[in-house]
Amino acid sequence: MDISTAQSIKLAIVSATGLSKDALHIYLGMAVYLTLIVGTRRFRPYLGWLVVFIIACAGEWVDRRDDIGSFGYWRWQASAHDVLNTLFWPTVLTLLWLLKCRSKVSVHP
């Protein structure tokens, strides 16, 4: 079984950091989200969430290709788990922001 370049890079990062793949998904999602939120002039967390979603799906598309090459099928449950891990905290923060915006509108008509 050949390991793709993408999988080799992931394994090297796991080895270098000592973190699990699940933890790396969480950290990557937060790092991308916070970088986009802090780096943009207009505070729009839903756009940061969308970018994290796109990046997570792109990564899982690469994993899908590797799964089919290695196993003969796509382990879609593992991909769904990874996307959920990546999006969990960006989703929580975006929802909190939306609730805060909503409460400002209802308090100040």
Residues 6+ apart with CB under 8 A from 96: none
Task: List pLDDT tens digits, range 25-78.
Answer: 999 999 999 999 888 877 788 899 999 999 999 999 999 999 998 899 999 999
Contact 59, 25 (CB under 8 A): no
- Selected residue with higher pLDDT from 4 and 30: 30
The mean pLDDT of 83-92, rounded to a whole number, is 97
Query: What's the confidence (pLDDT) of residue 1?
Result: 58
* Tokens read off for 40: 């943009």
Helix then strand then coil, in percent of the chain rounded to 5, is 85, 0, 15
Backbone dihedral region for residue 18 (phi beyond 0: left; psi -120 to 50: alpha; all else: beta): left
Helix (H, G, I), strand (E, B) or coil at 19: coil
Contact 83, 56 (CB under 8 A): yes
The count of C-alpha atoms lying within 13 angstroms of the C-alpha of 107, restricted to the half-sphere facing its C-beta, is 6
Q: How far apart are CA 31 and CA 13, in angstroms?
A: 15
